[in-house]
Structure 1
Amino acid sequence: MTKAALVIIDMLNTYEHEDADLLVRSVERVLPAVVHLLEQAREQGVPVIYANDNFGKWRSHHGEILDAALAGPHAALVEPVRPDENAYFVVKARHSVFYETPLAYLLGALDVSHLVLCGQVTEQCVLYSALDAHIRHLSVTVAEDAVAHIRQDLAAAALRMMEINMGARVVPAAAALGVTGGGGS
């Protein structure tokens, strides 16, 4: 059986950027599905990996990133997905969760070959992360109701590209961990 990991992309966010208002509305809609997926992963013993921007603060670590997000005006979007003591954390500076991060090494150490992606932004970081997983021969599931977008038209195209061009499973969050065998190997 394939071992899966849940990758939560950029959900620890201060929402202090261009297009934040559009993104916040989308995050509000998908947050229940992200929370459900996170709870399901924790219950099944599936590794949970947060991959998050560092907001350009090169001395930041996950505690500082979380604190900044919780101190921001949209802490209510961050608190429900707060990492627990078992979560892994990868700080990223660009769109892909793989670019110049130790994620590939961590996945190898965990013997993970399937990623379940959720978070933000569908047409940016989720898309580029799915592509980078695909070129590394990792299988991918995208929880379509647990990814937030800025532009719905681009997000729809991105989901279709991930499914057709990258062979990703694009399914509701409730089914995202089902086929992979959860935490088993």
Structure 2
Amino acid sequence: MSGTTTAVVVMDVLNTYDHEDAEALAANVETTIDPIVRLIDKARRADVELIFVNDNHGDFSASRDDLVRRALAGKRPDLVQPLVPPGNFAFLPKVRHSVFYGTPLEYALNREGIETVVLAGQVTEQCVLYSALDAYVREFSVRVAVDAVAAIHDDLGEAALRMMERNMRAELLPAGDCL
């Protein structure tokens, strides 16, 4: 057990960037790399639970290593390499938008006595939004590292952040202030 009641959940950073919205997303991901790296480093130094959750894109046999390999072989390995999940931290594959859907995340957080989840990663108006909602309905406090989440569409990303703040009581903070 980490001794803290906060966990950092980094989602969907293993992306091949070969989908319809990849170019728009990649442009926004570029600005999130350093804040995510700093958040991960701070979590590691503070002995905060650090959990990586990534879409398996329907390949239920894919391991962490498979997803890393595919992402690094994709169109933007420069956006993936700094965020490759270290092997000694929890890594959960997910099947849909929310980090809770079809994963043991809720069980793992409850087992460790986690009360607050800090969300970082991709995509603000999709996976981050739905994960924040699922955390909220499970009665976790939610913090969103606003400089460590990337949207495909800036306007939808901003709207999603406002929804998280208003409807889910999420704290919107710079990554450096989340822990």
Shorter-chain TM-score tier: over 0.9
Contact 2:37-2:82 at 8 Å conserved across structures: yes
Poorly superposed stretches of 4+, deviation over 4 Å: none
Q: Equivalent residue for 1:149?
A: 151
Distance 1:49 1:163 in 2: 22
Shift of 1:2: 5.9
Once the two structures are superposed, what CA deviation does each residue of 1:98-133 show, in whole Å capped at 9, x if it has no partner? Answer: 111111111122221110000000000000000000
Distance 1:40 1:98 in 2: 24
Q: Equivalent residue for 1:137?
A: 139
RMSD of aligned residue pairs (Cα, Å): 1.2
Q: Paired residues, what number?
A: 177
Shift of 1:75: 1.1
Shift of 1:59: 0.9
Distance 1:11 1:26 in 2: 12
1:3 aligns with 2:34: no
Q: Equivalent residue for 1:167?
A: 169
Distance 2:151 2:31 in 1: 10
Deviation larger for 59-68 or 122-131 = 59-68
Equivalent of 1:56 in 47, 55, 58: 58
Letter in 1 for 2:84: R
Distance 1:150 1:44 in 2: 31
What is the percentage of aligned positions where both structures have the same residue? 50
* Structure 2 alignment gaps of length 5 or more: none
Contact 2:4-2:48 at 8 Å conserved across structures: no
The normalised TM-score by structure 2 is: 0.95
Q: Equivalent residue for 1:182?
A: none
Distance 2:51 2:60 in 1: 20
Secondary structure of the residue aligned to 1:13 is coil
The normalised TM-score by structure 1 is: 0.92
Equivalent of 1:122 in 101, 124, 129: 124
1:46 aligns with 2:48: yes
Distance 2:88 2:26 in 1: 27
Contact 2:6-2:118 at 8 Å conserved across structures: yes
Shift of 1:97: 0.4
* Structure 1 alignment gaps of length 5 or more: 178-185
1:33 aligns with 2:35: yes
Shift of 1:86: 2.5
Distance 1:120 1:149 in 2: 7
Shift of 1:138: 0.3
Distance 1:88 1:15 in 2: 24
